[in-house]
Structure 1
Amino acid sequence: MTMPSHKAAHCIPPHTLTRLAREWLAEDTPNFDPAGACVGSQEVEARLLCKTPNSVLAGSPFFTAVFTEVGCTVDWVYQEGEDIGAITLTAVVKGPARCLLLGERSALNCLARASGIATRCSQLQAAAAAERGWHGEVAGTRKTTPGFRLVEKYAMLVGSVSMHRQDLSGMVMLKDNHVLASGSITQAVREARSVCGFSSKVEVECQSADEGREAAAAGADIVMLDNFQPQELHVAAHVLKEEFPALLIEASGGVTPENLAMYFSPHVDIISLGCITQGCPVVDFSLKVQKPATPQAF
């Protein structure tokens, strides 16, 4: 089940927004801002324009947090999760000129990246919804930009796909290297379960139906069928579901927006795609300071 886009922002603690905004601003201006001397602190207005057609707006809490931190205000014309088109007035930012320009790039980076991910997620979710009879979830992965994961995971929420696990602490996923290091799937599952107990699910990456069967028998909650061709996936998922009806089956590896439909199956519960964050196009926004009105002479 997906969360309404307008409620996604309620998941972000205010102190987290403040911390991130301060970090981004400090990265971009670690000491002096020489260009600030030529614009000063006169009050200005800037218009945020979306320049990419068929986009989904995401990242407004981060955009607003950056400008709040430098003493500016943001009035949104469109709300989080809404569809926006090319050359669309999206928001108006007001504040001291030098402060507005201090926040411009950091704020735009967040909005462009988050909106790009949300747009792709929305497209994938639409494809899933069009597949009648499939009641599973499209999901992201942990293949995120270092230091920017919260923004990217949040964008998945806005785009109505599952975020998958947040980090290594959120859920146990035993991949091929875990199994190789521990000796067997059974041993890896048992040792992981002894630590995480009842409060965390255990998922195992498997390369065959036999490995999936071993993982399920050992107590795994989720089996990831990794890098299966679609037809092989359908057969393996069917076999595992017949033997372990409560088992969740995830398909991952090699799935793209173009071939997603080939992976839909009544026996597959989750389809995860790394391309939700890796190689995802951004949405192009620009922030244009408006020229002050020239007073009329009387």
Structure 2
Amino acid sequence: MDYAHLLATNYKRIIADYLQEDVPSFDYGGYVVGEEPQEATLYCKAEGVLAGVPFFDEVFHQLGCSVEWFNMEGELLNPQGKLAVARVTGPARKILLGERTALNILCRCSGIALRARKVHDIQKAEGFKGVIAATRKTTPGFRLVEKYGVLVGGLDTHRMDLSSMIMLKDNHIWSSGSITKAVQQARSVGGFALKIEVECQSEEEADEAIAAGADIVMLDNFTGEGLKAAAKNIKQRWAAKGVNHFLLESSGGITIDTCASYFCEDIDVLSMSTVTQGVPHVDFSLKITQKN
């Protein structure tokens, strides 16, 4: 799959903003090296899933450089020492102008893709049929890159932003007065096009959300065994009434080490903030070829 086809034109503006942030005035180092044509090799020096290629390419495209890749996006890289994965060609100062911005994007995106791939591998090994998703706990200004890495790694992005789906959390419920009232108000403005998800702390709250018409019920901060029991009870109780329009999601404190303990046939979605938070970056470097 070529996930680059998902990207609209707005990512080019984002890349331009990244470059502007890094060089807001004079490029002193660029003055030193000038416009002489050069080649630089991109090396991967640690395990990672190659992700962020379109963003890396766009950095150098905006600077008048070209990139040739030796590996495919989504490929698992496990170098012994260092592995050449791409070549960047262009004026010396332009290569160096984009170096750190391009590397920052690639290192983080590939790290997230690696974490997502490892979770996805656990999912396949355990035979979990549901969806495993990231959350909206992303870095301001970097969300598009991070969500892209999640996709390349094989997991679901969940909602992209507050406009993508209506999620009613505890603060929404408390401010509205009840789950029922919050769902009704959300439906009045969201219409038929947006799903409504409600965060619930108990089976009773889940029942109220389902009765109110919620599309997704999030069982928040349930333990592994407690989650399985609650999910089974809820599904059986509403199936007896002929109601099956809703999905059950589990979220809260789930990590790569504990996710398998949450897998069960009654859970449709498992969401994990640790797919994008606290993820080690993959070590990439860009080195200009020394001339004799």
Q: TM-score, normalised by structure 2?
A: 0.96
**Alpha-carbon separation, structure 2, partners of 1:160 and 1:61:** 17
**Alpha-carbon separation, structure 2, partners of 1:236 and 1:228:** 9
Q: Could you list the per-position Cα deviations for residues 66-120 of structure 1 after superposition, in whole angstroms to 9, with x for gaps in the alignment?
A: 0010111000001110111221111000100001000000000110010000000
- Choose which of 99, 102, 120 in structure 1 pairs with 2:97: 102
Is 1:93 the equivalent of 2:92? Answer: no
What is the aligned partner in structure 2 of residue 253 from structure 1?
252
Is 1:70 the equivalent of 2:63? Answer: yes
**Alpha-carbon separation, structure 2, partners of 1:186 and 1:115:** 42
What is the aligned partner in structure 2 of residue 119 from structure 1?
114
Shift of 1:245: 2.8
What is the aligned partner in structure 1 of residue 54 from structure 2?
61
What is the aligned partner in structure 2 of residue 196 from structure 1?
190
Shift of 1:283: 0.5
Aligned ranges 1:100-179 → 2 under 5 Å: 100-132=95-127, 134-179=128-173
Is 1:12 the equivalent of 2:13? Answer: no
- Choose which of 230, 236, 241 in structure 1 pairs with 2:230: 236
**Alpha-carbon separation, structure 2, partners of 1:36 and 1:190:** 58
- The alignment yields a C-alpha RMSD, in angstroms, of 0.8
Q: Could you list the per-position Cα deviations for residues 169-211 of structure 1 after superposition, in whole angstroms to 9, with x for gaps in the alignment?
A: 0000000000000000000001101110110100000000110
Q: Verify the 8 A CA contact 1:17 1:61 in the aligned structure 2.
A: no
Q: Could you list the per-position Cα deviations for residues 149-188 of structure 1 after superposition, in whole angstroms to 9, with x for gaps in the alignment?
A: 0111111110110000010000000000000000000000
Amino acid paired to 1:34? Y
Q: Could you list the per-position Cα deviations for residues 226-267 of structure 1 after superposition, in whole angstroms to 9, with x for gaps in the alignment?
A: 000111100111111111433201000010000111000000
- Choose which of 19, 33, 38 in structure 2 pairs with 1:44: 38
Amino acid paired to 1:8? Y
What is the aligned partner in structure 1 of residue 284 from structure 2?
285
Q: Verify the 8 A CA contact 1:114 1:155 in the aligned structure 2.
A: yes
**Alpha-carbon separation, structure 2, partners of 1:89 and 1:72:** 18
Identity %: 52
- Choose which of 75, 80, 85 in structure 2 pairs with 1:82: 75
Instruction: Point out where structure 1 has 5 or more consecutive residues left out of the alignment.
Output: none
Q: Could you list the per-position Cα deviations for residues 11-69 of structure 1 after superposition, in whole angstroms to 9, with x for gaps in the alignment?
A: 002x223212211110000010111121111011100000112x110001000000010
SS at match of 1:23: helix
Q: Number of aligned pairs?
A: 285
**Alpha-carbon separation, structure 2, partners of 1:163 and 1:77:** 27
Amino acid paired to 2:154? S
Amino acid paired to 1:71? G
Amino acid paired to 2:89? K
Q: TM-score, normalised by structure 1?
A: 0.94
Instruction: Point out where structure 2 has 5 or more consecutive residues left out of the alignment.
Output: none
**Alpha-carbon separation, structure 2, partners of 1:194 and 1:245:** 22
**Alpha-carbon separation, structure 2, partners of 1:20 and 1:192:** 31
Amino acid paired to 1:267? D
**Alpha-carbon separation, structure 2, partners of 1:264 and 1:246:** 21
